Structure 1
Amino acid sequence: MAQDIFDLTIIGGGPVGLFAAYYAGLRQMKVKVVESLNDLGGQLQLLYPEKVIKDLPGFPQVKAQDFIAQLKAQVAQVDVTYCFNEEVDACEKKADLFYIHTNQSTHLSRTILVTTGGGAFVPRKLALPASETLEQQSLFYHVTDVENFKGQVVGVLGGGDSAVDWALTLEPVAKKVYLIHRRDNFRALEHSMSQLTASSVERLTPYVVEDLVLAENNLSGLQLRHVKTKEQRTLPVDKLLVSYGFINTHAPLACESLGLEGNNIPVNSRCESSVPGLYAAGDVACYPGKINLIATGLGEAPTAVSNAYFYLHPESRLQPTHSTSM
């Protein structure tokens, strides 16, 4: 039996991949999504389900898991084939077909859209004794349920947007929130900083954590050191959230045979790579002036899909009408 050949195979089932699959369905393309995890939604679903997103059009604010649920409901309206737990090992092009080799099988596609974001990530962990034994008990690197912090004294480590956002998210739930950063200044959006200033979150800067204080094998506090004065203090806390960012564990797509290397794919204004028929959208796509926001990727998705459609059907009109008149 001949293997199915798809019009478009989307590598990556995060928010950009989901919206691209939906839009490709509107264009009546035969679509497949290859995802390395066992569910759709990418990092938003896996790492940040409770995180509040504030930079999406039409949503004053929305939890990541709720946004993913909406995208899943949207893409359910069109016909898409999903392949889970498949990590792409290599890609090659023979004649007019792409051969996408994964850890489980080989997929055939006429075009490819890569929406893998920044690749696979692991959190930057706290390198202190006992930190590993406390993980998912009183020490966390991401939040799956804010209720775990209800009525607790919480320390948040970090100085970027994520750390500030989590401190603000936990403030109305926790008994007390401390935001601890090794520098004097934070690297967060101005709006978030104004909210932080108006909040009850107590900022401790510039401090570093030198040790974890335990009581009966449970976290009871943090041993802090002031970066400038070297003064030490013990801060009682019940829970600790470490927001030091993430480390990329591998390149998002192994396609050296196609002449593409590294963690990002350079694209033009059509979201087209140097390989005809291969497109990229979202954080994995790069071009001068690019801003890596979810909203940016959501806008790139229909551009990539439409140009992939035109690549397959050059006789068609490149610019589609609005979806309401499709």
Structure 2
Amino acid sequence: MVTQSADAHQPANAVTETDPAAGASVTGAVRSGTSPVDTDVDMLIVGAGPAGLYGAYYAGFRGMSVALMDSLPEAGGQVTAMYPEKVIYDIAGLPAVRGRELIDALLIQANQFSPTYLLGQQAAELAHKPDAVVVTSSQGLRVRAKVVVITGGLGTFAPRPLPTGTAHLGRGLVYFVPKLDVHTGQDVIVVGGGDSAFDWALALEPIARSVTLVHRRDRFRAHMSTVERVEASSVEILTFTEVAMVHGEEWIEKVELVQTRTGDRHVRPAQAVVAALGFTADLGPLTRWNLTIDKRHIVVDPTMATGVERIFAAGDITEYPGKVRLIATGFGEAATAVNNAAPLVDPSAKIFPGHSSDDGTGG
């Protein structure tokens, strides 16, 4: 059910990457700047985050050939880019799992069916053909697919910048914490009041010399249980406080904080500032695909269809009544999208395929 312009399984200029920790291979990864290669598959999944990776597994389980396209250079979406070391607690069957470990497991699961990974490629143009669509990436790579499932999280995203201290970006100022051990023995200032700020404060507390969490208000967006855990830890929480200045020659040495209600300022030592102020999202070229957009989300029906022929969506990028944005719900939406797309790939296919346990294929 798959044809390719070069090798039967991957583009001619593809590379194979292996995560030594998990043994998960990302085959067929085409990096930015490589020459375009035409790829023909049953299903193109736009977005290689958790929902996309599970969708790739499920489509493979249903006998479809699959390619995943993502603008990021690595599979894993926001989990890999933003919180690979964060512990995730709300995945069914996994009481606690680090982001990186979750992505490794999803890659192993998806790679049972040898999907093609087109990384460093942003989905740009959409054209309809008889019984198929053609998606052209920002790098000129063309993919012909019978169906497309968009699982791009919130689209392309960028962290909201800290108003002060930008000169120290990469020299103590960070927006993500890809490796916790870098901050061992440091005095760390975490800025923000959401889940990421509190999660990173908790993760850093055992290894840092000190952790201070500052927030401009006294109310937090983070889950109450996480707030309570931070309050019970050695992390110092300063409310109605902002970063006024960041000091240091080559690296951050100290941070000046201002109490916004009184104007009082004080300086404390710091070698790292983690600015967890959220991020801005942009659907980018997807806005030109005639999709129904509601506040940067793609509107879908109960089958995960978008209203544009042969285009489905799943995960955080979708919107419908009662929508809850969780990794866990994204998995179910991906399976729903794949199953409802199956008859467009093979008219004889049923929407419900049976259970994976019936044929011994891992689910």
Task: Judge same fold: TM > 0.5, yes or no.
Answer: yes
Q: How do residues 183-202 of structure 1 correspond to structure 2 at under 5 angstroms?
A: 183-202=217-236
Paired with 1:287 and 1:118, the residues of 2 have a C-alpha distance of 15
Does the aligned pair in 1 maintain the 2:342–2:350 contact within 8 Å?
no
Shift of 1:66: 1.0
Partner of residue 288, structure 2: 256
Matched, 1:206 2:240: yes
Does the aligned pair in 1 maintain the 2:291–2:306 contact within 8 Å?
no
Partner of residue 184, structure 2: 150
Does the aligned pair in 1 maintain the 2:146–2:344 contact within 8 Å?
no
In structure 1, which of residues 160, 164, 167 is the aligned counterpart of residue 194 of structure 2?
160
Matched, 1:232 2:265: yes
Does the aligned pair in 2 maintain the 1:21–1:80 contact within 8 Å?
yes
Partner of residue 170, structure 1: 204
Partner of residue 42, structure 2: 7
Does the aligned pair in 2 maintain the 1:91–1:258 contact within 8 Å?
no
Paired with 2:42 and 2:276, the residues of 1 have a C-alpha distance of 40
Does the aligned pair in 2 maintain the 1:118–1:284 contact within 8 Å?
yes
Deviation per residue, 1:262-291 (Å, 9 max, x gap): 732111111111123210000111111111
Does the aligned pair in 2 maintain the 1:89–1:254 contact within 8 Å?
yes
Tell me whether 222-231 or 171-180 shows the greater mean CA deviation: 222-231
Partner of residue 320, structure 1: 353
Alignment TM-score, normalising by the size of structure 1: 0.93
Deviation per residue, 1:43-74 (Å, 9 max, x gap): 21122221211111111111111111111111
Tell me whether 71-80 or 154-163 shows the greater mean CA deviation: 71-80
Output the amino acid matched with 1:313: D
Q: Relative to 1, partners in 2 of residues 1:260 and 1:90: Cα closer, same or farther, differing over 3 Å? A: farther
Runs of 4+ residues deviating >6 angstroms: none
Q: Structure 2 stretches of 5 or more lacking a match?
A: 6-37
Count of residue correspondences:
322
Paired with 2:116 and 2:159, the residues of 1 have a C-alpha distance of 31
Overall identity of the aligned pairs, in %: 36
Partner of residue 81, structure 1: 116
Q: How do residues 1-326 of structure 1 correspond to structure 2 at under 5 angstroms?
A: 5-103=40-138, 104-128=140-164, 131-214=165-248, 216-248=249-281, 250-254=282-286, 256-260=288-292, 263-326=296-359
Output the amino acid matched with 2:163: A
Paired with 2:77 and 2:130, the residues of 1 have a C-alpha distance of 32
Paired with 2:355 and 2:320, the residues of 1 have a C-alpha distance of 26
Tell me whether 117-126 or 30-39 shows the greater mean CA deviation: 30-39
Root-mean-square deviation over aligned CA pairs: 1.8
Paired with 1:193 and 1:218, the residues of 2 have a C-alpha distance of 30
Query: Which of structures 1 and 2 has the larger relative contact order (alpha carbons within 8 angstroms, sep 6+)?
Result: 1
Deviation per residue, 1:226-246 (Å, 9 max, x gap): 111222212222211110011
Does the aligned pair in 2 maintain the 1:160–1:186 contact within 8 Å?
yes
Shift of 1:196: 1.3
Q: Relative to 1, partners in 2 of residues 1:187 and 1:113: Cα closer, same or farther, differing over 3 Å? A: same
Alignment TM-score, normalising by the size of structure 2: 0.84
Output the amino acid matched with 1:124: R
Q: Structure 1 stretches of 5 or more lacking a match?
A: none
